[in-house]
Structure 1
Amino acid sequence: MNREIELKLECEPDVLNRVSQSPVLSRLKRGRASARTLRSVYFDTEDFSLMKSGLALRVREGGGKRIQTLKTESEGGGLASDRGEWEVQLERNEEGPNLNRLPASIKARIRQAANGAPIAARLVSDIHRIARQLTTPDGDEIELAIDRGVLRANGREAQVSEVELELRRGDPASLYRLALELADMVPLRIGLRSKAERGLTLAGDGKVEAIRAEAVAFERDVTVEAAYAAILRHCLSHFLLNEAVAVESGSSEALHQMRVALRRMRSAFAAFGKPVADASAKQLSREAKWLATAIGRARDFDVFIATIVAPVLRERPDDKGLVALCDAAEKARKRAWAGARAALRSARMSSFVLRLALYIDERGWRDDEEANVSRLEAPLSALAPKILDRQLKRAAKLGRHIGDLEIAERHELRKRLKQLRYTLGFFSSLYRRADTRRYLHALAELQDVFGALNDVEAAHKLTEELTALEPILAESGRHILAHHERRARKEWQSALKLWDEFRDVEPFWR
């Protein structure tokens, strides 16, 4: 078995020529480029049970050879995939995959995943590949492959336009450094989905859905440093897995999940600020905030149309003023989405993602002169209560006079509670579920109400913006806001009650 460590970068087809002519490649190249045409057939059950079990089985034809490859799921957890890989050259009379050429343990795993279902060809990729061997100044050896082609499955097609960086020998961090150099010159995006995974989408209904964050689970003895790295990696993966869904399909939920991922990421930077306390984390947090703001406007208009305008319009479908306001909001939403896509396709976004990945993999926090190694290597279970106490104290201080809070103060309390909830999500696996359930439920209920109140406040700003452009819409705007203000007053009374209930719940970490 070999291990394949690879970083995938996606781009528009016309960008690939610029990559191949990059001064970076001229400086690092070793020998001449090679060009090949590759046809790969991926085999699976009808419902893709192998892929769903983390297995990719293919037979690739090229250069007069037929190579069978079995890849397992990535184990690295970072942007660069780190997969087990078994390759064997097939004889001419072996038309399909030959499972007998695989180790017994892998063969058994395939049969268990298939569960008796027939394994057949499900996806075909036709790729023209230009590969170059590179050597970095530190001696790391990397194969850079430029892939153009098409995927075909279930009568559907998808274009392939990728740059793959595969580590042949050396430090995996060299992949990120090379990708950063390339991304500074040409617009590249991080790709988390393999060709086989993209084929799974094609073979299904062709749609990809938003992905919610899974719980972060730790052993009781996990160190502060290991937990910090795992949480950041988890947040980054959550963000990137939703990026393609948001950009390609315009999914409002996927865009929301991206904002959630960025907020969780910034909460992690804040929570670990004292034991880590490095300048890189502060800069990365600022970039995460920039990106959240850049995509946030589109999400705000999504919510405005769906939860503020639409309910009133359903009650008065023939109101021409409301219809006109909805049309104006939809036009503004499209402009906001164009801005969000531009930010997500920008060099700044790619640089942020790669720098964060490099920061995690290289433990960049240790580069800081003030890094406290003893704190980093201490158990998280000892630090978690202190972090949670500090965040609860910040929220409680502002909520002490909750009935007298101004709008801006309510918004700040909401942000502090949200940060507490995200941090609780990071640490809750250290405690018994029975102990955490009641507290998290009370906090979630409180946050839901604050979220609804925030939507109404955001509606004021967006309505003012729309009516400033088209004053004729002002009356309809006032009607909509009056409708939701009545609801907001009831919601605020509910928030006051829920705050009292939340205060009475004993923090489970003490």
Structure 2
Amino acid sequence: MPELKHYTAPATGLRQLQELLPDAYSLQGCPGHRLQRRWLDSFDLRLEQAGLRCQLQQEGGVSELLLISREDGKVLAASSVAGPPLLARDLPEGPLRDLLEPLLEVRALLEQADLETRVTPARICDRRGKTVARIQLETPFGEGLPSFLTLTPLRGYRKQARRIDRRLRRAEGVEVLAGELLDTLLQWRGYCLYRPPAGLSGVVLEPEMAANEALARLLLGLLAVMKANEAGILADLDSEFLHDFRVSLRRSRSLLGQVRGVFEERDLNRFGRELAWLAGATSDKRDFDVFLLQFDQRASLIGRGDRPALEPLRRYLEQQRTLAQGRLRRTLESRRYARFRQAWREWLEQQAAQPARPPTALESFSENTWRVYRKVLREGGAIDDSSPVEALHELRKSCKKLRYLMEAGRSLYPPKRIRRAIAELKLLQDTLGAITDLDVQRSLLLRWEQVLAKRGIPEETIAAIEALRGVLGRQERKARKRFARTFERFSERANRKRYRRLFRS
């Protein structure tokens, strides 16, 4: 793949451009045209964080998607496309899709910036008339931005391209635009890419900070994440917008309920009711999202010949997902939600500005985290092979509350110690998640099977759903066998000592 190089352009036409090149090369002009560039990335800028840029180029009715190294401008993969793809799985099979899918997963590609230019292209030919590179003079439309050159080496002529590059670098008035073009474009325009709110990680607490201020700041950070994801939820761009919204919602409910002795009880009840209402109003859509995302993987668990019989279930879930999206939209556009969000923000801002009062952030988080940790030990220690699955669900909820407290207050504790404590908890959560998620999906399948049976779906579909429920049941029992070993590790003496040093010293 070529390495695209960009330069400032003192030339205004091919004649001036010819004077910048070595004597051994000549220019052969081509018809001019318009070029539309759009830079795409996920909402959370996953490609940017990986040092990549995804650029959609549209010219003359042809669209091409390029994946470019931000560092050196090298094109890593490219593919012709019909238009802007929403998800990586929408791309044709090939190297570009193979590179993008692991990075983006289920996140949509969204436009981050665009640039339209008038292009004067030319072929750079050697004395034998062979084309060794392509160069184009580009003039942006309507923004007062400077013109620039784009040099594209051709395969087999890298030596010649390097010679041309060296000559351009020495030419008067020419400067190399380092890296990928978007960096220069953002600099010219004087702005940067939008970055979503950081949530809890963007709030640094001090040990002596008042607990009311600390908790209010954390909750304001979570509210900012929820607000930032609203537009993506309403447009149904990808499932992660709702997922991130709900994670921040759960964290808010947990912090409000678990950090005791900080806020007035009547305020906790007032906002707790609204947060619970919002959690219930957003759950159906998420259930359908999760199952549909995993549908093909789940279907692969039953016999190949039985898989087509699950298609009526897929169609039903897609229909129900559409209905759930409509209900979700009405919730987020409702007066109740607007009033709640405004009142919640104003109240949190008031709490953050209140005079300092006991306890401190360190005292409050340590006391409450230790209390929830002890609850996890009690609940987990009471579970054996005969315990109902509901006990594991309750333990998972307690583990989530513990995790949310630890992550919210992690800046109060030594980084290595708190990171290790969270890692040990995550191992337990992973095991519990495998058990309870399988149980939930089996229950949902039973409910959907009963609905579809009343609608008169074919017997083979009922049989396929039953077969899938059976496979998930066996996986659940297998996962449950791992619980005792995982909980034993979490509750061992060394880990108890680790938690005690963090939260009781």
Calculate the TM-score normalised by the size of structure 2: 0.57
State the partner residue of 2:254.
Answer: 267
Equivalent of residue 487 in structure 1, options 475, 486, 496: 475
Query: Matches of 2:352 and 2:197 in 1, distance apart?
Result: 31
Q: Shift in Å at residue 426 of structure 1?
A: 1.0
* Residue in structure 1 matching 2:368, options 360, 384, 387: 387
* Equivalent position SS for 1:470: helix
Which of 325, 328, 333 does residue 337 from structure 1 map onto? 325
Q: Structure 1's 119 and 417: CA in aligned 2 closer, same or farther, altered over 3 A?
A: closer
Partner deviation per Cα, 1:232-263 (whole Å, 9 max, x = no partner): 10110111111212222342111111111111
Q: Which amino acid aligns with 2:394?
A: E
Give the counterpart of 1:354 among 328, 336, 342.
Answer: 342
- Alignment of 1:462 with 2:456, yes or no, is no
Distance in 1, matches of 2:440 and 2:261, equals 33
**Is residue 289 from structure 1 mapped to residue 283 from structure 2 by the alignment?**
no
Quickly say closer, same or farther: Cα 1:311–1:255, change in 2 above 3 A. Answer: same
Classify 1:503/1:119 alpha carbon distance in 2 versus 1 (closer, same or farther; 3 Å): closer
Distance 1:116 1:442, change over 3 A: closer
Structure 1's unaligned 5+ residue stretches are: 1-45, 53-94, 98-113, 124-195, 202-207, 367-372
Paired with 1:209 and 1:305, the residues of 2 have a C-alpha distance of 26
Shift of 1:337: 2.0
- Cα deviation digits, residues 16-71 of structure 1 (max 9, x gap): xxxxxxxxxxxxxxxxxxxxxxxxxxxxxx999xxx9xxxxxxxxxxxxxxxxxxx
Match of 2:399 in 1: 417
Q: What SS class does the counterpart of residue 227 from structure 2 fall into?
A: helix
1:453 pairs, out of 409, 413, 435, with: 435
Distance 2:442 2:186 in 1: 57
Amino acid at match of 1:257: D
Alpha carbons 1:456, 1:484 under 8 Å: kept = yes
Separation (CA, whole Å) in 1 of partners of 2:372 and 2:419: 19
Deviations 1:334-377 (A, max 9, x none): 222222222122111111111101111222997xxxxxx87x34
Match of 2:416 in 1: 434
Q: Encode CA deviations 1:175-227: one digit per residue, 9 max, x unaligned.
A: xxxxxxxxxxxxxxxxxxxxx89xx67xxxxxx99987635321232211210
- How large is the Cα RMSD of the aligned pairs? 3.3
Give the AA of the match of 2:359: A
Change (3 A) 1:122 1:412: same
Computing the radius of gyration from Cα coordinates, the structure with the larger value is 2
Return closer, same or farther for 1:476/1:237 CA change in 2, 3 Å cut-off. same
1:53-452 alignment to 2 at 5 Å? Answer: 117=184, 214=201, 216-307=203-294, 310-313=297-300, 316=303, 318=305, 319-363=307-351, 376-403=357-384, 404-452=386-434
2:298/2:468 contact within 8 Å kept: no
User: Quick one: structure 1 residues 232 and 116, their matched pair in 2 at CA, closer, same or farther if it must change by over 3 Å?
Assistant: closer
Shift in Å, 1:306 = 2.5
Is the 8 Å Cα contact of residues 304 and 455 (structure 1) preserved in structure 2? Answer: no
- The 1:364/1:463 distance shift into structure 2, 3 A limit, reads same
* Structure-2 change in CA distance of 1:304 and 1:289 (3 Å): same
Q: Note if contact 1:303-1:455 (Cα within 8 Å) is conserved in structure 2.
A: no
Distance 1:384 1:120 in 2: 43
Amino acid at match of 1:402: I
Question: Is the contact between residue 199 and residue 221 of structure 2 (CA under 8 Å) also seen in structure 1?
Answer: no
Question: Which residue matches 1:17?
Answer: none
After superposition, the C-alpha distances for 1:121-169 in whole angstroms (9 at most, x for unaligned) are 769xxxxxxxxxxxxxxxxxxxxxxxxxxxxxxxxxxxxxxxxxxxxxx
Distance 2:349 2:358 in 1: 16
Instruction: Report the AA paired with residue 433 of structure 1.
Output: P
Task: Please tell me whether the aligned partners of residues 223 and 379 of structure 1 are also in contact (alpha carbons under 8 angstroms).
Answer: yes
Residue in 2 aligned with 1:509? 503
Return the alpha-carbon distance in structure 2 between the equivalents of residues 47 and 484 of structure 1. Answer: 38
Compare 427-436 and 300-309 and name the one that shifted more: 300-309
- Going from structure 1 to structure 2, the CA distance change for 1:496 and 1:434 (only over 3 Å counts) comes to same
Using structure 1 for the length normalisation, give the TM-score: 0.56
Q: Is the 8 A contact 2:205 2:412 kept in 1?
A: yes
**What is the one-letter code of the residue matched to 1:258?**
F
Unaligned runs of 5+ in 2: 1-38, 46-142, 146-180
Deviation of 1:313 (Å): 3.9
Whether the 8 Å contact between 1:239 and 1:258 is mirrored in structure 2 is: yes
**Relative to 1, partners in 2 of residues 1:115 and 1:320: Cα closer, same or farther, differing over 3 Å?**
closer
- Tell me how far apart the structure 1 counterparts of residues 423 and 238 of structure 2 sit (CA, whole Å): 28
Whole-Å separation in 1 of the counterparts to 2:310 and 2:490: 39
Cα distance in 2 between the residues matched to 1:116 and 1:479: 53
CA–CA separation in structure 2 for the residues paired with 1:463 and 1:119 = 49
C-alpha separation in 1, matches of 2:303 and 2:446 = 21
SS of residue matched to 1:275: coil
The partner residue of 1:497 within 485, 488, 493 is: 485
- The question of whether the paired residues in 2 share the 8 Å contact of 1:295 and 1:340 is answered with yes
Q: Quick check: 1:301–1:332 contact (8 Å CA) kept in 2?
A: yes
The 2-side partners of 1:392 and 1:121 are apart by 52
Query: Residue deviations 1:424-483, cap 9 Å, x none?
Result: 011111111111122100111211222222222221232122222221443222111111
Which amino acid counterpart does residue 324 of structure 1 have in structure 2?
P
Structure 1 letter corresponding to 2:335: A
Q: Deviations over 1:409-432 (max 9, x none)?
A: 211111011001000011111111
Change beyond 3 A, Cα 1:407–1:419: same
Q: SS of 2:204's equivalent? A: coil
Q: 1:227 to 1:474 in 2, by over 3 A?
A: same
Q: Distance in 2 between matches of 1:379 and 1:492?
A: 40
Secondary structure of 1:274's partner? Answer: coil
In structure 1, give the amino acid aligned to 2:242.
L
Residues 115 and 397 from structure 1, CA distance in 2 versus in 1: closer, same or farther, beyond 3 angstroms?
same
Q: How far apart, in 2, do the equivalents of 1:115 and 1:342 lie?
A: 38
- Identity score, percent: 24
Question: In the superposition, relative to structure 1, how do residues 400 and 351 fare at CA in structure 2: closer, same or farther (>3 Å)?
Answer: same
User: How many Å separate the matches in 2 of 1:274 and 1:426?
Assistant: 17
Equivalent residue pairs, number: 317
Distance of 2:200 and 2:291 partners within structure 1: 24
Change (3 A) 1:214 1:316: farther
